[in-house]
Structure 1
Amino acid sequence: MENNPTLAKVAAIQMNCVLGDRDRNLEKASRLVEQAVQNNANMIVLPELFNTGYRVEEKDMELAEPIPGPTVEWMEKIASKYGVYMIAAILEKGESEGLIYDTAVLVGPEGLAGSYRKTHLWDQENVRFTKGDQFPVFATPYGRVGLQICYEVGFPEGSRILSLKGADIMVYPSAFGMPRLYAWDLATRSRALENGAFLIAANRTGVEKTETEFAGHSRIVDPLGRVLAEALEEDEVIMAEIDLQLVAKQRRTIPYLRDLNRKLISDEYI
């Protein structure tokens, strides 16, 4: 793998979280990240709001962090120590007082590489969070990465914009609900297939406030829509080797991006 720049080993971490307890969640995440590192992962994805839990709406202001902040600094230390790239979504304290974003961050060995604010909010997230409006793509030694978050797996527009901007890998830190597992199954494979891209989706498990049950089934999907690895345990690390040559090959085999009539799409984002 070291002699082939198109190959990478990626990992998705599936985990349950302790509601509102950053220290305990980071402690558990550290053990799972260590497991991924010991298996030679180059890129590691954690779930949405893994550091705080998801249903912390009463404490959003208290738990939100600036970027960089404590959780990003924790990620930076690990990324620097092991030479890996890490992706997670956390509560971000906005520039304007009182505004909070659900934000995915990408951290590499050199530090914070960038962030993405969730643009499509689910249900009560529309009350809790402010929407983002940018679709950045980040270059890494293991491919160009586009970030989305959870519910956005059901919106093909975001992943299509990212693909047109050059993304080879779509990453979805998630806290996706069990009642919609059927949508997760179909949408994760569809976003990979229609864009000819790899997809890494790291989801939550467990139940919060006795009513919000998370679906698990974190997965890594190839550009043909094939599931390379899937998590079935409460706390689990899944891994797969990806070959970026398959991205180019699949985009020639089913040329959705080539044949897309771009005149029908606003050029505001691409």
Structure 2
Amino acid sequence: MGLVTIGAVAAHFGRDVDRGVSKVVGIIDAAARDDVDLLVFPDACLGGYIGDLRAPDPNDRPPALDPNGPEIAAVIAAAGPMTVCVGYAEESVGGRYNAAICVTGDGVLGHHRKVHQPAGESLAYLAGDAFTAFDTPVGRLGMLIDYDKTFPESARALALDGADVIAALSAWPASVTDRASRLPADRQARLFDLYDCARAAENQVVVVSSNQTGVMGALRFLGQAKVVGPGGDVLANTGSKGGLAKVTVDVGAEIARARKVLNHLAERRVDAYHTTAGN
């Protein structure tokens, strides 16, 4: 695989789908000029997220998009050789999913529907039921959305499926019950960073964590996009502002170095994990 340049986006995306597509395409074009190989956008960058976790407004739901429709086609057309992950509300029989799709200019590489749903999100979205890694030009990759990364089993399932890179797409807000005056001091800001580093370190993989910024409804998003190495070290980050966390890294070499003495996946004791049925 060799050296790859990875970018994690922190930016605001609202309800206007056309504007979101234009913004995504513009960021892809700028990243291409910086020779980015893997670009991870936030969750809900095409159509925005819900405005209230506790009681989503039924009249203000994210527009449901067809994964074979013109919006994803525009991202594919812009991507060229770059591997790009974007989040959107996916239209499906019976409702919509909070979903992510990974593409290059050649088409769709992989897909994920958010499995874990916080608070009232089930009022706006259906829940997914699987974690699957897939091959890309930058290596084997898996995706998580928002709350998925709170659960160690989510990232572990992707790592056991061979993922070297986990793209964690988020629309992760500050605390809705105990909001701090400054975003970096917010309890959810600390947890967001903790989960990113823990999921990378415990699985010895690279985590590319994107997030929304700005405000939608009652939610204020944290930013804090970052790339985390397989030792749990933050290689690049945006802080709470919008921007691109970008780093060039040899993913295979870094993973091999992290696993040289202590290989967490190989040294698991599945016979002792009775409560998780060996998983």
| Contact preservation (8 Å) 2:142, 2:158 | yes
1:159 equivalent to 2:155? Answer yes
- Identical residues among aligned pairs (%): 28
Counterparts of 2:261 and 2:59, CA distance in 1: 49
Matched, 1:217 2:213: no
Of 95, 111, 115 in structure 2, the residue corresponding to residue 115 of structure 1 is 111
Q: Does 1:27 align with 2:22?
A: yes
Aligned to 1:55: 50
Report the number of matched residues: 258
2:195 to 184, 187, 209: 187
| Mean CA deviation greater in 100-109 or 258-267 | 258-267
Q: Which amino acid aligns with 2:229?
A: D
CA change 1:253–1:59 in 2 (3 A) is: farther
Displacement, 1:61?
6.7
Look up the match of 2:213: 205
Q: Structure 2 counterpart of 1:38, which letter?
A: R
Q: CA shift at 1:16, angstroms?
A: 1.0
CA RMSD of aligned residues (A): 1.8
Identify unmatched segments of 5+ residues in structure 2: 52-56, 176-187
Where do 1:60-79 residues align within 5 Å?
A: 63-79=63-79
Aligned to 2:89: 91
1:14–1:204 contact (8 Å) kept in structure 2 = yes
Shift of 1:228: 0.7
- Corresponding position of 2:120: 124
Measure how far apart 1:114 and its partner are. 2.1
Q: Secondary structure at the match of 1:102?
A: strand
CA contact (8 A) 1:32 1:237 kept: no
Contact 2:83 2:137 in 1 (8 A): no
What letter corresponds to residue 10 of structure 1 in structure 2? Answer: I
Bigger helix fraction: 1
Q: Return structure 1 stretches of 4+ with deviation > 4 angstroms.
A: 59-62
Matching residue's letter, 2:211: N
- Unaligned stretches of 5+ in structure 1? none
Q: Per the alignment, in what secondary structure is the counterpart of residue 33 of structure 1?
A: helix
Contact 2:223 2:242 survives alignment (8 Å): no
Separation in 2, partners of 1:141, 1:230: 23
Cross-structure match for 2:174: 178
TM-score, normalised with respect to structure 2: 0.87
Paired residues of 2:5 and 2:38 also in contact (CA < 8 A): yes
Normalising by the residue count of structure 1, what TM-score does the alignment of the two structures yield? Answer: 0.90
**Given that residues 35 and 237 in structure 1 are in contact (C-alpha distance below 8 angstroms), is that contact kept between their aligned partners in structure 2?**
no
Shift, 1:233, TM fit: 6.0
Looking at structure 2, the residues matched to 67 and 240 of structure 1 have their Cα atoms a distance apart, in angstroms, of: 29
Distance 1:240-1:203 versus aligned 2 partners, 3 A rule: same
